[in-house]
Each structure stands twice: as structure tokens, then as C-alpha cells.
Structure 1
Amino acid sequence: MRAVVVRSFGGPEALEVEDVPVPRTGAGQVRVRVEAAAVNPVDVATRTGALVEFGLVDRREVHGIGWDVAGVVEEVGAGVTGFAPGDRVIGLADRLDVSLGAYAEQIVLDADALAPAPSGATPAQAATLPLNALTADQALDLLNLTEGQTLLVTGAAGGVGGYAVELAVLRGLRVVAVASPADEKLVRGFGAEFFVPRDAELSTAVRELVPGGTDGAVDAAALGTPALTAVRNGGSLTAVLGGAAPFPLRGTRVANVWVRADGERLAELAGLADEGRLTLRVEDTFPLDQAAAAHERFAGGGLRGRLVLIP
């Protein structure tokens, strides 16, 4: 089968399409024929070698790439009862130190990393859900806010930020969204009660809307200290970008969210997508052998949906 791998770190040209063996299915695992794989910032970090530089993964001869997958079950391993060949599924490949990722024609994942795909979504749309929605959901869990409290979301028009706004509203939180002025209508459509342009002086603008500052923040734009300064004393902040958490000043609680696969929760998120409560956004699709072109497009920015590879 074909797969995209990285042998030498660098720009988009570092993505190589190779013929590799079909992965074997072990006990408790499922082999999926990939119909769509979304492009995410972590994929860029894999390609450039940033994950090795930061000590998150060891250097290896071949690095697999890609986390998000939507596809069809081809084979189930011993002990798997929740899935059968032909099932349409989504899943998250959350291991970094691998030679094969979701940029491939087939992938093997643990059964508990998979969930039924949203029934009303195309494979490309479904592939945008796992990494970003689980990251947003787990970031909110770390804040431990309660209904009626206020939440700041930076990067609210992005993949994680958009889901964070929608999921926060479903939890009964009042959201202050930070994004480009051109995206105000978009993020208010996600349910944000307040809006702050990203070029504003953040703390001042937020505190004018929410005296004393918000109860918590999901810092999807990796602003760091400016985002924390907009949070009240004793509040909490979750940093989405690994290692980007600011110092916990003023008695705040600060954490990084290190996303993990969670098939059970992913199934619930897929249900929310089917109900129209989570917005699945695809900017464009590319054939698998044009992964480099997709990464070039990703580097250009200005995206309001995910780029998706189609094997």
C-alpha cells in the first residue's frame, strides 16, 4: 500500500510517498482502510523535526505522519467486539514514535481509539473531528469550570478554538472569543457571547467585557501570558500548544493539554456533530500523493477549515 513518511526533516518536500507493507492487526486492534486524513499542526512538527528537537520523540529512520483518520474497517483483531468489517469509523492515532501514521491507505489502531463516524458527514468532514474536538474537550475538562462561568478562547476561528467555543457553550459557559475581525460572525455563530479582535490589547478588552477577568481560558492561539493576564486571580488556563503554558501568576492554575485517544468520548462528539451542535469544516482536499502541496497550502495560513488528504 502507499503511505507518506518522513526520512529527512525539512519543508513540504520532506514528505515522501512510499510503498510499504500493509500493517498487521494485533489483539484488541482494528485495521482501517483510510478514506480521509486531516492535516494538522502536529504533522508539520513531525515533518520539520520539531518533535525530535523538543524531546517528544526519538530520531528514527522513518517517521510516520498523520493523526486524524476516517475510513472503513477492513479487519478486527482478537477480542474486538465493538467493530466489524464494513463499519465506517473515525479515530485518532495519538502515538508519535511510529513509522506509519494516518497519511496512508490503511492504518491499524487500538479499538478504543475508534468511534462510529458521524452518519451525516462525508469522510473528509468526519476526519476533521478527532484530534481537534478531543483536544478542545480535554482542554475544557482541565479547567473544571461550572455552568454560568466565563471562558476566554483564543484562536476561536481555528480548528481547536472553534470546537472549544461550541463545546463550552454546550457546557453552559459564557464565551469570550478572540479572532480576526473578519471572523466575528463565524465565532458568534459558534455561540460566543462576547468577541475581542485579536489585534486588541487583550487583557484590557476582555476585562471591559468581563470585570475582573474570565474564570478560565483555552489558549488555542498560544498567546501565553497575554491570555493569562485576561483571566481573573485564581482562575485557570489550558495551553493547547505543547510547552506553551505560561507561569501560573496570581494564584492561577495553568496546564498543557496533551491529547489522548478516547473512542468512547469521540463517539459522543460524533453524535453532537450529527445533531448539528459541532461544526465540521473542510477547507480543501488533496490526493494522498499531493501531501506536500497540502502542507504548502497549510503554511500559507488563512484557513477556516481543515485540509484533508484522500488516499
Structure 2
Amino acid sequence: MRAVVVRRFGGPEVLEFAEVPVAEPGIGQVRVKVAAAGVNPVDAGTRSGFLTEAGIVPPREVLGLGWDVAGTVDAVGDGVTGFATGDSVIGLRDRPSAALGTYAEFVVLDADALAAAPRTASPEEAATLPLNGLTAVQALDLLDLPPGATVLVTGAAGAVGGYAVTLAKARGFRVVAVAGSADEALVRGFGAEVFVPRGDFLADRVRAVIPGGVDAALDTALLGLEALDAVASRGRFVVFAAGAAPIPLRGITVEHVWIRADGAALTGLADMVDDGTLVLRVADTLPLSEAVKAHELLATGGLRGRLVLIS
């Protein structure tokens, strides 16, 4: 089968196409015929060597790319009871050090990393959900706040940020969203109660609306101290990238969300897509053969939604 791999670090041009054997699913595993795979910033971090420099991915001769997958079950291993050949599924590959990822024609995942695909979404749309949706869910879980708490979401127009706004509202939080001025209508549509345009003196402008500061912040835009300053003393702050954690001033608890596969939570997200709560956004689709172009587009920034590779 065809797969996209990295044998050396660098720009999009280092992506290679390899012919590799189709793996057999082991005990508790499922082989998925890939229909669509999301293209995420973490893929660029793997390709560039950033994740290896950060100590997240050990050096190895070959690295696979791709975390998100939407497709159909092609084969099941012993002990798998929840899925059958032909089922439409979505899933997350959460081992960035693996030699093969979801930029491939087939991928083998543990069964508990999969969920039934949303019935109302195309494979291209569904492929944007696992990594970004689960990241938002697991970040919100870290907050451990009661309904009515105020939560700041930076980068609220982005893929993770948009889900975070919607999911935070669904948990009963008051959401203060930060994004570009042109995206105000978009993020209010996600469920933000308060909108603050990104720019200088962010904390002052947030505190002008929320006296004393917000109870917590999800810093998907990696603003660091600028966003931390908008959080009340002894509040909570979640970061989304290695090395992005600010100093925990004023007794604020600073935590990092380290994403993990979770089929049960992914099932809940798929249900929220089907009931209309979550909106899936595809920036563009490209064939797997144009993975290099997809990474070039990713590097330009400013995308609304995710790029998706289709097999």
C-alpha cells in the first residue's frame, strides 16, 4: 500500500511516498481502509523535527504522519466485538513515534481508539473530528469547573478553539472567545457569550468585561502570559503545545493537555455532530498524492477548518 513517511526532517519537500506491506490487525485491533485523513499542525511538527527536539518523538529512521482517520473497517483482530467489516468509523492514532500513520491507504488501530462515524457527515468532514474534538474535550476535563464558570478560549476561530467554544457552552460555561475581528460572527455562532478581538493588552480588555478575570483559560492560540494575565488568581490554565506553558503566577494551576485516543469520548462527539451541536469544518480536500501541497497550504496559516487528504 501507499503511505506518506518522513526519513529526514525539514519542510514539506521531505515528505516521501513509500510502498509498505498492509499490516494485519492483532488482538483487540481493527484495520481501517482510509477514506480521509486530517492534516494537523502536529503533523508539521513531526515532519520538521520539532517533536523530536522537544523529546516527544524519539529519533527513528522512519516516521509516519497523520493522526485522524475516517474510513471503513477492513478487518478485525481476535477479541474485537464492537466493529465488523464494512462499518464506517472514525479514529485517532495517538502514537506519534509509529512508523505508519493515517496518511496511508490502510491503518491498524486499537479498537478502543475507534468510534462509529457520524451518520450525517461525509468521510472528509468526519476526518476533522478525532484529534481536534478529543483535544478540546480532554482540555475541558482538566478544568474541573462547575456550570456557570467563565472560560476564556483563545484562537476561538481555529479547529480546536471552535470545538472548545461549543463544548464549553454545552457544559454550561460562560465562554469568552478571542479571535480576529472578522471572525466575531463565526465564534458567536459556536456559542461564545463574550467576544474580545485579539490584539494588544488582551488581559485588560478581558478584565474590563469580566471583572477580576476569568475562572480558566484554554490557550489554543499559545498566547502564554498574555492570556494567563486574564485569569483570576487561583484559576486554571490549559496549554496545547510542548514548551508553551507560562509561569504559574498568582497560584494559577497550569496544565498541559496530552491527547490520547478515547473511543467512548469520540462516540459522544459523533453524536453531537449528528444532533447538530458540533459543526465540522473542512478547509479543503486534496488527494493523498498531494500531501506535500497540503503541508505547504498548512504553513500559510489562516485556515478555517482542517485540510483533509483523501485516498
- Alignment TM-score > 0.5, same fold: yes
- Confirm or deny that 1:50 pairs with 2:86: no
For 1:215 and 1:108, locate their aligned partners in 2 and report how far apart those are by CA, in whole Å: 41
For 1:272 and 1:56, locate their aligned partners in 2 and report how far apart those are by CA, in whole Å: 31
Which amino acid counterpart does residue 177 of structure 1 have in structure 2? A
Query: Is this contact kept in 2: 1:242–1:257, CA < 8 A?
Result: no
Q: Deviations over 1:1-37 (max 9, x none)?
A: 1000001111111111111110121000000000000
Distance apart, 1:246 and its partner CA: 1.0
Q: Deviations over 1:179-238 (max 9, x none)?
A: 010100000000100011111411101001100000000000011111110000110011
Report what 2:224 is aligned to: 224
Q: Deviations over 1:40-66 (max 9, x none)?
A: 010000110111111111111110010
Distance apart, 1:146 and its partner CA: 1.0
Query: Is this contact kept in 2: 1:28–1:78, CA < 8 A?
Result: yes
Q: What is the SS of the residue equivalent to 1:61?
A: coil
Query: 1:233-248 counterparts in 2 under 5 A?
Result: 233-248=233-248
For 1:217 and 1:188, locate their aligned partners in 2 and report how far apart those are by CA, in whole Å: 17
For 2:89 and 2:281, locate their aligned partners in 1 and report how far apart those are by CA, in whole Å: 18
Report what 2:135 is aligned to: 135
How much identity, in percent, do the aligned residues show? 64
- Confirm or deny that 1:277 pairs with 2:277: yes
Q: Following superposition, which runs of at least 4 residues in structure 1 exceed 3 angstroms of deviation?
A: none
For 1:171 and 1:160, locate their aligned partners in 2 and report how far apart those are by CA, in whole Å: 16
Distance apart, 1:170 and its partner CA: 0.1
Query: 1:123-202 counterparts in 2 under 5 A?
Result: 123-202=123-202
Report what 1:267 is aligned to: 267
Which stretches in structure 1 are left out of the alignment for 5+ residues?
Answer: none
Distance apart, 1:265 and its partner CA: 0.7
User: Which has the larger displacement, 243-252 or 102-111?
Assistant: 243-252
Distance apart, 1:97 and its partner CA: 1.2
Aligned residues: 311
For 1:137 and 1:219, locate their aligned partners in 2 and report how far apart those are by CA, in whole Å: 14
For 1:245 and 1:171, locate their aligned partners in 2 and report how far apart those are by CA, in whole Å: 25
Q: What is the SS of the residue equivalent to 2:234?
A: strand
For 2:134 and 2:52, locate their aligned partners in 1 and report how far apart those are by CA, in whole Å: 24
For 2:242 and 2:110, locate their aligned partners in 1 and report how far apart those are by CA, in whole Å: 24
For 1:187 and 1:17, locate their aligned partners in 2 and report how far apart those are by CA, in whole Å: 38
Per the normalisation by structure 1, the TM-score is 0.99
Q: What is the SS of the residue equivalent to 2:276?
A: coil
Per the normalisation by structure 2, the TM-score is 0.99
Which stretches in structure 2 are left out of the alignment for 5+ residues?
Answer: none
Distance apart, 1:242 and its partner CA: 2.4
Q: Root-mean-square deviation (CA), in Å?
A: 0.7
Q: Deviations over 1:91-120 (max 9, x none)?
A: 000001111000000000000000000001
Q: What is the SS of the residue equivalent to 1:108?
A: strand
Query: Is this contact kept in 1: 2:54–2:242, CA < 8 A?
Result: no
- Confirm or deny that 1:100 pairs with 2:100: yes
Q: What is the SS of the residue equivalent to 1:265?
A: helix
